[in-house]
Amino acid sequence: MSLAKAVNNLKFDKRLTEWCINNGQMTKEEHKKYIETLPDLQSQVDLVHMDEETDTH
C-alpha cells in the first residue's frame, strides 16, 4: 500500500476523524457519506454481560 493511500485511510480512523474535520483534512459531509457505506453488522454481534465486582481491598 502506498503512503498516500495509508494516510487517506487513516482519516477515517475513529480516533482521528474529529482531528481531520477540525483541521480541514475531511468535511463532516465526507465523513457522513463514509459512515453510510459501512455494512450493518448488528446481526453478528456477540453480547457480553459483565457483573460488577465489589473491590474488597
What pLDDT shows up at residue 22? 95
Three-state DSSP class for residue 44: helix
Domain ranges of the chain: 10-37
DSSP string of 6-26, one letter each residue: HHHHHTTSTTTHHHHHHTTSS
**In tens digits, what is the pLDDT along the chain, a chain of 57 residues?**
788 888 888 888 999 999 999 999 999 999 999 999 999 999 999 999 998 776 666
- Asked whether the whole model's pTM tops 0.75, one would answer no
pLDDT at 18: 93
Rounded to 5 degrees, φ, ψ at 34 are: -65, -45
Supply the pLDDT for residue 54: 63
